[in-house]
């Protein structure tokens, strides 16, 4: 029983209405996450659930915050906010015109300690995808955060993963899985025009650059390479 009536009285809704909205937002997050396999959900989509029926300007933010608290209390999930990035090449062009806030999006992340998660919660049927995600992100990371498409496939080929392979025994359509990483915002695509025409680059996107994720990736890479993590950045 946190704050008493004041919180929602400023919004002119009852406690039941508030609870209903919060529940709707949480359900939306859970079901949508399942449907799109963990692709980030735009803040706009959540706000719309509120503004559909209620007009108070500050209500969406309040409801989303409440939903964040409840998700953590009931499920042990953190509603992690990601700032949507633009690819670095277009960023340069935009520097002169810093528009408003770039779109925020959300993913849910378990708050359980890693060993506990691994022991009881992790679905072993999807670990191959997690493994693949890690491999691809590491390659891009080691390439300095950005890599040409051709180079990426060159490295993947060394592990037996081919761009044209649609029937890999574990991953199926390999190119499709890489596409999924783009949709999940671990990577983003960027077309760069060069002397030979446009080249497609893959760049780390907000999900891979997120603090805790980025840290752990560096740790794992350094474990594999057996050097100190400080030196991993220097490439």
Q: Which residue has the tokens 């079901």?
A: 31
Q: Binding to other proteins (CB under 8 A): which residues in 192-221? A: none
Output the CA angle 161-162-164, nearest 5 degrees: 145
Q: Is 53 helix (H, G, I), strand (E, B) or coil?
A: coil
Distance CA 211, CA 206 (A): 10
Tell whether residue 31 is a contact of other proteins (CB under 8 A).
yes
Site for other proteins contains 54 (CB under 8 A): no
Stretch that binds other proteins, among 31-39, 139-147, 162-170, 186-194 (CB under 8 A): 31-39
Segment interacting with other proteins, rule: CB under 8 A, options 58-66, 70-78, 153-161, 189-197? 70-78
Beta-sheet pairing, 187-194 with 197-204: antiparallel
Q: Determine how β-strand 41-42 pairs with β-strand 77-83.
A: unpaired
Least Å distance between CB 121 and other proteins? 5
Binding mask 105-144 for other proteins (x = CB under 8 A): -----xxxx--xx-xxxxx-x-------------------
Query: Which of 30, 130, 35 lies closest to 75, judged by CA?
Result: 30
Binding site for other proteins (CB under 8 A): 19, 23-24, 26-28, 30-32, 34-35, 37, 70, 73-77, 110-113, 116-117, 119-123, 125
């Amino acid at each position: 029983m946190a704050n008493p009536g004041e919180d929602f009285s400023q919004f002119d809704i009852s406690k039941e209405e508030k609870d209903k909205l919060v529940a709707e937002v949480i359900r939306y997050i859970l079901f949508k996450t399942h449907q799109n396999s963990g692709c980030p959900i735009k803040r706009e989509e959540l706000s719309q659930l509120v503004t559909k029926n209620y007009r108070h300007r500050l209500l969406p933010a309040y409801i989303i915050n409440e939903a964040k608290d409840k998700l953590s209390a009931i499920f042990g999930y953190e509603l992690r906010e990601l700032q949507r990035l633009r690819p670095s090449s277009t960023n340069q062009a935009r520097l002169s015109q810093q528009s408003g806030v770039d779109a925020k999006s959300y993913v849910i992340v378990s708050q359980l300690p890693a060993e506990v998660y691994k022991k009881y919660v992790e679905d072993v049927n999807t670990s191959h995808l997690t493994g693949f995600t890690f491999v691809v992100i590491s390659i891009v990371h080691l390439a300095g955060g950005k890599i040409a498409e051709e180079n990426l496939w060159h490295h993947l080929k060394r592990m037996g993963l081919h761009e044209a392979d649609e029937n890999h025994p574990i991953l199926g359509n390999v190119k499709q899985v890489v596409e999924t990483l783009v949709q999940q915002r671990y990577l983003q695509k960027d077309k760069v025009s060069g002397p030979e025409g446009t080249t497609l680059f893959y760049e780390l996107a907000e999900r891979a650059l997120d603090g805790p994720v980025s840290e752990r990736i560096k740790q794992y890479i350094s474990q594999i390479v057996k050097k100190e993590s400080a030196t991993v950045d220097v490439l």
